[in-house]
Amino acid sequence: MTGPSGIVSVIHPRGFFLFNPSPPSPVEQELDTIQRDALTEIEGLSGESALEEFRVRYLGKKGRLTVAGAGMKDLSAEQRPLVGKKLNEVRVAITSALESRQEALVAARDAEVVTGIDPTLPGTPSFVGTRHPVSQILDRAIRTLRRLGFALAQGPEIETEWHCFDALNTPADHPARNESDTFYFEDGRLLRTHTSSVQIRTMETTPPPVRIIAPGSAFRRDEIDATHLSAFNQIEGLYVAETVTLADLKGTLEYFLKATFGDSTDVRFRPHFFPFTEPSFEVDLSMNGKWIEIAGCGMVDPAVFEAVSKVRGDDAFHPDKVTGFAFGLGLDRLAMIQWGITDIRHLIENDARFLRQFA
């Protein structure tokens, strides 16, 4: 059967295919030669530069294949598509041979890198990090207090005397303000000695009702020992509204401490003095028959509301309109009680043997 342009189709036992009985053109012969040369040559090539040189010589703009392809313009309209197809096949064949040669080179280089390494040996164990005990207890404390409606507040660690002392009704001759107790900067600012400064900053900017907790660091020139650090952590609490009572304060702290340490925890309020609360208390927790001081607290002193009102220039916090309670919890102490840590210095020594126990 003879089709158009002399192409003969034949029924072959393995199927149906076409062939072109006319002898191959010089261009096709050249393409065969190029393919044979390229595939033979590439087997012997190693090294990236040799492969690149090969690519340019065969596939580049002036490469053998491109030059051979230029001969297509002399072909007849019938031959051109056939030769074009072949040109493409040869290009694909050479390109893929080049790529697999490149891959083989990379694989050989990788293999060389790992020779001598025994993958069956046990690996070096790596330890997964864990949260510091103070961070763990802080997360839990925040969760508990947020359930009671407290929002998170923040203030700076470098404070003014106003926010740390004056507005908190602490007179200039109070011992806490002494240079021997407090770290001062030359410009008169200081490292806050308690987080109570955040009470003032919050009330200066936020009208009542205010219900916030402010966790953070505090600093004192304390002698460092098993229960004292010069940098430690507190959680401040402040609730100011129309009628906040001492019962609210006791209920809040008792709930918090029982939620943290268990329902059978005994809590004791001991009368105390703070310049910024009246009445004031210290809060103790019973641990193995011993009382441990855990917080200071009290009802916000009217003098504090007056100081805040002066800055605000309004009477939103006028002592006749609002009452409030405040507390300051020792966060490091909470962690020590939670895990029976006997020396507060463990918390800052970064000894992995200690920290690993809280993983």
Q: Which residues bind ligand PHE (CB under 6 A)?
A: 194, 196, 274, 277, 296-298, 326-328
Angle at 214 between CA 181 and CA 251, to 5 degrees: 105
φ, ψ for residue 358 (rounded to 5)?
Answer: -105, 10
Distance in Å, CB of 328 to ligand PHE, minimum: 3
Distance in Å, CB of 307 to ligand PHE, minimum: 15
Please say which residue, 194 or 211, places its beta carbon nearer to ligand PHE. Answer: 194
Please say which residue, 71 or 275, places its beta carbon nearer to ligand PHE. Answer: 275
Q: What is the residue-wise DSSP string for 144-199?
A: HHHHTTPEE----SEE-HHHHTGGGT--TT-GGGSTTTS-B-TTS-EE-SSTTHHH
Please say which residue, 160 or 277, places its beta carbon nearer to ligand PHE. Answer: 277
Distance in Å, CB of 273 to ligand PHE, minimum: 10
Distance in Å, CB of 238 to ligand PHE, minimum: 8
- Residue 187 to residues 159, 220, 273, Cα–Cα distance (Å): 11, 18, 30
Please say which residue, 58 or 276, places its beta carbon nearer to ligand PHE. Answer: 276
Please say which residue, 326 or 331, places its beta carbon nearer to ligand PHE. Answer: 326
Distance in Å, CB of 299 to ligand PHE, minimum: 9
Q: Helix, strand or coil for residue 15?
A: strand
Q: Is the peptide bond before 209 cis (omega within 30 degrees of 0)?
A: yes
Q: How far apart are alpha carbons 332 and 344 in whole angstroms? A: 7
The DSSP call for residue 276 is T
Please say which residue, 32 or 181, places its beta carbon nearer to ligand PHE. Answer: 181
Helix axes 48-59, 79-114, angle to 10 degrees: 180
Distance in Å, CB of 179 to ligand PHE, minimum: 18
Q: How many CB atoms lie within 10 A of CB 309?
A: 18
